[in-house]
Every structure is written in structure tokens, then in C-alpha cells.
Amino acid sequence: MIIDTTEIETINSFSKLESLKEAYGIIWMLVPILTLVLGITIGVLVIVWLEREISAGIQQRIGPEYAGPLGILQALADGTKLLLKENLIPSTGDTRLFSIGPSIAVISIFLSYSVIPFGDHLVLADLSIGVFLWIAISSIAPVGLLMSGYGSNNKYSFLGGLRAAAQSISYEIPLALCVLSISLRVIRSSTVDIVEAQSKYGFWGWNLWRQPIGFIVFLISSLAECERLPFDLPEAEEELVAGYQTEYSGIKFGLFYIASYLNLLVSSLFVTVLYLGGWNLSIPHIFVPELFGINKRGKVFGTLIGIFITLAKTYLFLFIPIATRWTLPRLRMDQLLNLGWKFLLPISLGNLLLTTSSQLLSL
């Protein structure tokens, strides 16, 4: 049997073309993920710089000023220092749990960014259960903290991990009930649909005015989820040295540091999406109709405007948790649990009942 050489060359060229198409598809699929990771990294560096500058202003002292202009490279210098430091592991601890814990905390928070819309349909995964996926994923992070505390074989670390788990359980329930109230009002659970439902009346269409009780409960619960003052009981230095971070050094300690700021940024982004209108320009349509659709004119320009509006609202809101850190004293553990179970849970249940009643009456 004689096979023509031209047929063999055609088959080979076709197989090469198919493999190139597959490689191109994989690369094109990774581009938005890597872009999101790069953007999140830059966002975290900006938050660290902002917190240091705002903290310095509140305390009337000089903030970072030597590492780059206005000290903007200080966070990058700190990250480089942690990367080059020695990575110590407790000799009597559980090495596997000790090493896996920080990674679980960071990865679970990173996954939450996949359902956040930064512009008109500019979202990595527009899921019908977007907000509830965030709540489900965020509940994994305390497991990593508990693993880190147990694997350190240190009583301070273990107590810090237990506190992190108890605090997360106490405040995730009110947080989920507030999100459920928003979902009931919009009759959608997609983050994109929730933003679009607030776009009709501009500033007055925000869920902030329709769910004021839910907004306050969500704000307090998100601060507790981020373990920010006055809710930083898992790492209270006066009681637990550094909590679950006590035995960590080098890049693993840096992962916990990054995870706290990642959690703060994702919480602020969800406040923007759920309560502050997301990427929409917050000007009522009846007043300035030509500006109302400014972020829908042209794909590139509209996308950039949407990203700018989302980030502007997010970073303006970030002033609240940053200022709270240097304003309020730390709670005791019993006060923290009482606030979650005896106050926020009944209030969030009452808010859910009011939302359900208003939706039934409007039918």
C-alpha cells in the first residue's frame, strides 16, 4: 500500500494546527485569571499604603515616606523582606497542617474574587448563586486558621485558631441572612443582577436605602469576618502573643498578612456590589440622562469607567474599617460572641422577615 507524501504532510500540518489552537485556548483562558490576580495584588499593596497613611494621620505622626515617592513602595519592601526571611517549622508540631493552613486561608479568599463584577458583565464567573458561593467559600478560611493553630503545637496558637473558628461561625450567619434579604428583594442571587437592579434610580436606587438595617449588620459582620479591630480576638497580642500566627515566620507569615488584606478588600467590594450600586454612575436618570449611560458607551471606555467607579466606591468605603481600627478598643471574647448571637442574629432575622413581608405585600 502506497501513501502519498502530500497526504501525510497535510495530516501533520492539521494536527499541528489543532495543537496550536488548544494551546492558544488554554493561554486565552489563563489571561483573565492572571489579570485578576495581578489587579488584586496591586489593590492589596494600595490598601496597605492607605492604611499606613490614614493611621499616621489619625495618630498625628509621619507615615511611610522613604521607600519610593510618598512611601508607596513600603509594602513591596516588607513583602520582599518576608520572602527572604528564614522559614521556621516547629519541631514538635504537625508539619503538614502547619504548612497547608496558610495556603488554604489565601486560596479560599482568592476564589471569592471570581464572582465580583468590576464592570458591565466584567466578571470572571457570572453564576446564578454568586453571593452564596462567596459565603460558602469564605467559610473555608477559618478551617485553615484552625489547622495552623493545631499544627503549631502551641497553646496560644491553638486558642487563636479556636477563636477564629468560633468568631467565623458567630458572624457568618447574620452575614448570610443579610445577603439573603438582598437576594429576596432582587429575586436574584447573581452579583451582576444585583448591581443592575440598583441602576434605575442612580444614587436613590442603592440597596443601602432599602436595606439600612441589613447594611449595618453586614458592615459589623464583615469587620468581624476580616478579624479587624475591635474584633481581632484570634490574634490579640496582649493575650495570645499573636494567636495562630505565633509560630510562623517568613513567607508563611506573609501569607496570613496577605490573607487579612485580601479579605478586607473582598468584603469592601461586596459592600459596593450589594449596597452601593456597583459599577453604575450614581446619578439619578431623571436628572442627567446623558451621564446615566456613560459606562455603556463603547466597550473599552465603558469598561474602564465601570472599573474606576467600582474601585472608587470600594476605597472610599475602606476608610471606615481603617479608621475603626484606631478608634474603638478591642472587645472581650464573651462580648464578641454575645454581640453576634444575641444582637446581630435576631436583628438580621427580623430584617429578613420585614423584607419577605414587603415582597409578599407587593405581589
Residue 26: is its pLDDT beyond 80?
no
Alpha helices in the chain (DSSP H): 5-58, 74-84, 95-112, 130-138, 141-151, 155-186, 191-197, 207-210, 212-225, 237-240, 250-275, 289-292, 299-317, 319-325, 333-338, 345-361
Highest mean pLDDT among 15-19, 94-98, 178-182, 293-297: 178-182
The 10s digit of each residue's pLDDT in 241-289 is: 777 888 888 888 888 888 888 989 999 999 999 999 888 876 655 455 5
How many Å apart are CA 202 and CA 106, to the nearest integer? 35
Task: Give the domain ranges of the chain.
Answer: 1-80, 85-362
Residue 169: is its pLDDT beyond 90?
no
Distances (CA, A) of 248 to 86, 148, 149: 10, 9, 10
- Quote the percentage of the chain above a pLDDT of 90: 15
CA end-to-end distance (rounded Å), the chain: 77
Closest CA to 316 of 290, 282, 288: 282
Question: What is the rounded average pLDDT for all residues in the chain?
Answer: 83
Q: How sure is the predictor about 94, in pLDDT bands with cuts at 50, 70 and 90? A: confident
Looking at residue 297, what is its pLDDT?
54
Average pLDDT over residues 339-351: 93
pTM of the model: 0.86
- Specify the residue for cell string 485578576: 36
- Specify the residue for cell string 454568586: 130
Distances (CA, A) of 88 to 93, 103, 143, 223: 11, 16, 22, 31
Q: How sure is the predictor about 17, in pLDDT bands with cuts at 50, 70 and 90? A: low
Q: How sure is the predictor about 35, in pLDDT bands with cuts at 50, 70 and 90? A: confident
Q: How sure is the predictor about 233, in pLDDT bands with cuts at 50, 70 and 90? A: confident
| Choice among 118-132, 135-149, 234-248 with the minimum mean pLDDT | 234-248
Looking at residue 1, what is its pLDDT?
47
Residue 292: is its pLDDT beyond 80?
no
Which residues contact residue 110 at a Cβ distance below 8 angstroms, ignoring those fewer than 6 apart? 37, 40, 262
Count the Cβ atoms, other than its own, within 10 Å of residue 81.
11
Q: How sure is the predictor about 343, in pLDDT bands with cuts at 50, 70 and 90? A: very high
Grid cell, residue 223, equals: 469587620
Of residues 84 and 237, more confidence is placed in 84
Residue 27: is its pLDDT beyond 90?
no
